[in-house]
Structure 1
Amino acid sequence: MIDERAARAVLVATTLLASAPAQALSMNDPLTEWTKGTAMDRMQIASRLGKSFNSLSESFTAGYFLKCIDDVAAYGNAKAARIEDAMRECVAARIPRSPDAE
């Protein structure tokens, strides 16, 4: 389970992206839209995620989110997932699990 600090960062990132000016991609879009999106649209989302999560870990950069979401979108079973779901997977992959989470 993601710790409280990570959960807050997810909430902040989602809020920032939801309140962003209209753009071609949103966090609620399916991953199929991510793969069709322009490089600029994908980079805008990745940059905002990097800024939101960088305080949690310096490894959370725009480049990390761009590559990670690209990788998640490439999975055949992930097409029904949303960009937000991919972001959560990317964060969970880098956050160590606490021993009492089970």
Structure 2
Amino acid sequence: MHARDLTFVLGFMVFLTGAAEARLSVVDKISTYRRAPPADRLDLATRLGKSFSALSPGLDKEYFLRCLEETANVGDPRDIEIEAAVKLCVAAEGADPSK
């Protein structure tokens, strides 16, 4: 996936989530994700999966749930935005040698 495609998809996600105040969006901090209710985490992963699965079938809801959970619980990511974590997840999926 090209950086331009990733930027477009993430920008589109910000646009889609701008009107919904209670929903997690890619501009929230990963620390907010960590404290969010499971339903909000699932909602975000579902939206990400719908946006990215067309670009790569492995980038589905389950993948984003697992990857964002791991990112949120490793180290101290308090200042990282979810957008940066999503970029890491996308890059990691493309680099996975088991694929």
State the TM-score bracket (shorter-chain normalisation): 0.7 to 0.9
| C-alpha displacement of 1:3 | 4.1
User: Contact 2:53 / 2:59 at 8 angstroms: preserved in 1?
Assistant: yes
TM-score by length of 1: 0.77
**How many aligned residue pairs are there?**
95
Structure 2, unpaired ranges of 5+: none
Q: For 1:5 and 1:50, how far apart are their aligned partners in 2?
A: 15
User: Contact 1:24 / 1:37 at 8 angstroms: preserved in 2?
Assistant: no
For residues 55 and 76 of structure 1, do their structure 2 counterparts lie closer, same or farther at Cα, with a shift above 3 Å needed?
same
Q: For 1:89 and 1:14, how far apart are their aligned partners in 2?
A: 17
Q: For 2:77 and 2:94, how far apart are their aligned partners in 1?
A: 21
**1:7 aligned residue:** 7
Task: Give the 5 Å matches for 1:1-102.
Answer: 2-19=2-19, 21-95=20-94
User: Contact 1:17 / 1:48 at 8 angstroms: preserved in 2?
Assistant: no
Q: For 1:14 and 1:70, how far apart are their aligned partners in 2?
A: 20
| C-alpha displacement of 1:26 | 2.7
Q: For 1:66 and 1:80, how far apart are their aligned partners in 2?
A: 20
**RMSD of Structure 2 on Structure 1 (CA):** 2.1
Q: For 1:30 and 1:4, how far apart are their aligned partners in 2?
A: 22
Identity %: 31
- Which amino acid letter does the alignment assign opposite residue 52 of structure 2? F
For residues 4 and 45 of structure 1, do their structure 2 counterparts lie closer, same or farther at Cα, with a shift above 3 Å needed?
same
Who wins on radius of gyration, i.e. which is larger? 1
TM-score by length of 2: 0.79
Structure 1, unpaired ranges of 5+: 97-102
Q: Which has the higher contact order (CA 8 A, sep 6+)?
A: 1
For residues 68 and 31 of structure 1, do their structure 2 counterparts lie closer, same or farther at Cα, with a shift above 3 Å needed?
same
